[in-house]
Amino acid sequence: MISDRLKNPILKNEIYSEEIKVSYLKKIDTIFNKGINFYLDPKNLTHSLEDSVFFRKQSFNSYLNIGSKKIVTHFEEIKHSLSAISKLSGFTTKRKLPVFKLSDDPKVSANNAKSILKPPFKKEPKEFLTSLITVFAEYNVYVFEFVETWNKKEKANIDGFFLSPNTIVIKRNASSYRREIFTLIHELGHFFLEDEEIDEIDEKSITQSETTPIERWCNDFAFYFLAGKYSTAINSISTASSANDYQNDLIDEISANTHLSKIALFTRLLIDRKISFPDYQIIKEDLDQRYIDWQKELQRKKDFDKAHGIKSEGRPPKPIKSPLFIKAIQSGYHEGVLNEYDVCKQLNIRPEKIDKYIL
């Protein structure tokens, strides 16, 4: 990776040697972002089960590229930092929610979880996502978004993960907040099972035979949590075919009132054998093509604006901040564990905005 685009590639013996050029260390650090002193520290690295999920798990449900590993490591460091801040400031995040077992019915478990959490429904998907993150904070569950810009060299190939005991991380997906919402509730399922996992989540993956029992449970949990009372309407569908326009009107209504995507709903019908696989494929291809057309239209607008010197009003997306995270940082500040610089760094805010968070 550090030899990429170099006319003369860096050789292995130039790295695995008694001495190494500082310029090479700097190249290596562009990948790991640890700082040069990390590589100069004579102490051996510790392999502790508490340090990283990579030491705790032998395998993951998804292949993790370097971008994914960097994201996971970054949030593990945040988790350890929050743990230290909480201990020093007396801020507690003791578990308030029950633990479920894989043998529990995911539908019953989803209904039980929803009756405890009582998340308020919002019509706009982003507002609903924000309300979910706020509710989870009230029950001592941290939720973090990670944002990947269009020009990032090595993008993560995962959608979300759960880190024990109470941290959920999800990928910002502004083009499909419904997918991000599904990912969040899927990871909430892992939290309830106390099963750490890093996933490339697909609402359609529940049809695949290779999906693990835990992944199927978490997918079912997410589906029924979001479906709520509309699961009755879904069950009322006897069949979906071209003869009844694939129940599109009802599917549209359910999707609008649950934030379940249309493909997630049709996948459920496929699992329940209420739509044939050939018909399901027709629906899926149509929805995929609509998404491609929508993306092309957005790109055409961007190209038109650029060609005519019209500046885009869009700003780089900012991750939603969990109220629990803000409270932990506030506690650290008021107890003297963090100074103003630390607060700004942790919350990624400008110094002039600090009063909004600490007063």
Q: Which two tokens stand for residue 5?
A: 């685009």
CA gap 100, 109 in Å, rounded: 7
Q: Which of 217, 200, 198 is nearest to 159 (CA)?
A: 200
Q: Which of 278, 12, 93 is nearest to 1 (CA)?
A: 12
Strands 160-163 and 142-146: unpaired
What confidence score (pLDDT) does residue 66 get?
86
What confidence score (pLDDT) does residue 157 get?
86
Q: Which helix (H) or strand (E) holds 146?
A: strand 142-146
Q: Is the pLDDT of residue 313 over 70?
A: no
Check residue 207 and report its DSSP letter.
G
Q: What is the mean pLDDT of the chain?
A: 89
CB 234 within 8 A of CB 265: yes
Q: What is the dihedral of CA 26, 170, 265, 118, to 10 degrees?
A: 180
What mean pLDDT comes out for the span 193-200?
A: 88
Q: Is the pLDDT of residue 228 over 90?
A: yes
Q: Is the pLDDT of residue 207 over 60?
A: no
Residue 294 amino acid letter: W
What mean pLDDT comes out for the span 139-150?
A: 91
CA gap 42, 33 in Å, rounded: 18
Check residue 213 and report its DSSP letter.
H
Check residue 173 and report its DSSP letter.
-
What mean pLDDT comes out for the span 290-315?
A: 79
Q: Which two tokens stand for residue 197?
A: 């996992």
What confidence score (pLDDT) does residue 78 get?
93
CB 146 within 8 A of CB 319: yes
Confidence of residue 205 (pLDDT cuts 50, 70, 90): low
pLDDT over 70 percentage in the chain? 95
CB 196 within 8 A of CB 53: yes
CB 170 within 8 A of CB 160: yes
Between residues 7 and 210, the one the model is more confident about: 7
Residue 335 amino acid letter: E
pLDDT tens-place string over residues 150-196: 777 778 888 999 999 999 999 998 778 999 999 999 999 999 999 99
pLDDT tens-place string over residues 98-128: 999 999 999 999 999 999 999 999 999 999 9
What confidence score (pLDDT) does residue 98 get?
97
What confidence score (pLDDT) does residue 202 get?
63
Measured CA to CA in angstroms, residue 108 lies from 85, 112, 140, 205 at distances of 37, 6, 22, 21
Residue 144, strand partner residues? 169
Q: What is the pTM of this model?
A: 0.85
pLDDT tens-place string over residues 26-82: 888 888 878 888 887 777 777 777 778 887 777 787 788 888 888 998 999 999 999
CA gap 359, 352 in Å, rounded: 13
What mean pLDDT comes out for the span 246-250?
A: 93
Please, which residues have CB within 8 angstroms of residue 100's CB and are 6 or more apart in sequence? 109, 192, 193
Token match 């309830």: residue? 192
What confidence score (pLDDT) does residue 53 get?
84
Confidence of residue 210 (pLDDT cuts 50, 70, 90): low
What confidence score (pLDDT) does residue 279 get?
94
Q: Which two tokens stand for residue 191?
A: 């939290």
| Lowest mean pLDDT across 51-65, 214-228, 339-353 | 51-65
Residue 199, strand partner residues? 160
Q: How far does CA 317 lie from the centroid of its chain?
A: 15
Residue 70: Cβ-neighbour burial (10 angstroms; 0-12, 13-18, 19+): middle
What confidence score (pLDDT) does residue 328 get?
96
CA angle 325, 329, 335 (to 5 degrees): 145
